[in-house]
């Protein structure tokens, strides 16, 4: 493999999505992928990605490739393998609940970047940008390891601190839920109802007076009010030890 140059760009911590915004303004390659600071790619990941991308069917347009995250502890794919019969699909329709790694076309990501933000909120998930592309284009499904993942344990990890994020970034989460409600692929009514519950909870914390006007699923959101209130109380209970 020919030598390549690594460009280091520093920015102050403003939330994960702001790092994505800066990255998309610098990337010059056809494909791009985000790897968390405590994760790393296999030594042959770039070769595998380019091989599958160059061998893709040319009769349709794809947004990128979807690979697997592997746990460094047991060396297994997190959530298991993709179904063998699926080689391409809209991601939300793939029956896989584990962690995955998206390698996206840079030109498409630039169409949805930079991601908006809300003052004082750093927890806006950058998947907000990805969703907009993944809902419009199918993705190539690759049953191979694209990333080694070592989960961080403790209240400061993203998975463990999710309840704190719900509380401290409610406007970001309500915007995220609205985007999810609008997805055209894989959005069952059960899933939409769960999204409405989370949306109501976030609007309670953000004190959004226009919550009903903003939701694209007004009837379902009204039905979700009691459950959203319960979820908001549960979030408060989960955050009872934090100030």
Beta bridge partners of 70: 77, 148
Taking the model in full, what pTM does it have?
A: 0.89
Structure confidence at residue 241 (pLDDT): 79
Average pLDDT by stretches of 10, the chain with 243 residues: 79 91 94 92 95 94 97 94 95 92 97 94 95 97 95 58 94 98 94 98 97 98 98 94 70
Q: What is the tens place of the pLDDT at every residue in 75-117?
A: 999 999 999 999 999 999 999 988 999 999 999 999 999 999 9
Give the C-alpha separation, 102 to 131, whole Å. 11
Exposed e or buried b for every residue in 156-174, given b needs 16+ CB within 10 A? eeeeebebbbbbbbbbbbb
Q: What is the tens place of the pLDDT at every residue in 8-20?
A: 999 998 899 999 9
Structure confidence at residue 132 (pLDDT): 96
In angstroms, how far is CA 130 from the centroid of its own chain? 7
């Amino acid at each position: 493999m020919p030598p390549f140059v690594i460009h280091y760009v520093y920015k102050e911590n403003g939330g994960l999505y702001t790092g994505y915004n800066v990255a998309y303004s610098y990337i010059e390659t056809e494909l791009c992928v985000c790897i968390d600071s405590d994760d790393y790619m296999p030594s042959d990941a770039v070769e595998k990605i380019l091989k599958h991308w160059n061998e893709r069917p040319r009769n349709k347009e794809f947004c990128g490739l979807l690979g697997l995250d592997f746990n460094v502890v047991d060396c297994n794919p997190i959530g298991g393998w993709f179904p063998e019969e699926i080689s391409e699909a809209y991601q939300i329709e793939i029956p896989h609940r584990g962690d995955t790694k998206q390698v996206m076309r840079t030109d498409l990501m630039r169409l949805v970047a930079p991601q908006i933000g809300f003052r004082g909120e750093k927890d806006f998930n950058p998947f907000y940008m990805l969703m907009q592309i993944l809902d419009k284009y199918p993705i190539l499904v690759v049953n191979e390891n694209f990333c080694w993942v070592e989960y961080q344990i403790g209240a400061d990890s993203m998975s463990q601190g999710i309840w704190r994020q719900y509380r401290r970034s409610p406007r970001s989460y309500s915007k995220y839920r609205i985007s999810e409600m609008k997805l055209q692929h894989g959005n069952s009514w059960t899933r939409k109802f769960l999204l409405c519950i989370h949306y109501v909870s976030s609007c309670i914390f953000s004190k959004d007076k226009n919550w009903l006007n903003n939701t694209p699923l007004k009837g379902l959101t009204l039905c979700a009010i009691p459950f959203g209130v319960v979820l908001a109380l549960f979030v408060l209970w989960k955050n009872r030890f934090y100030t």
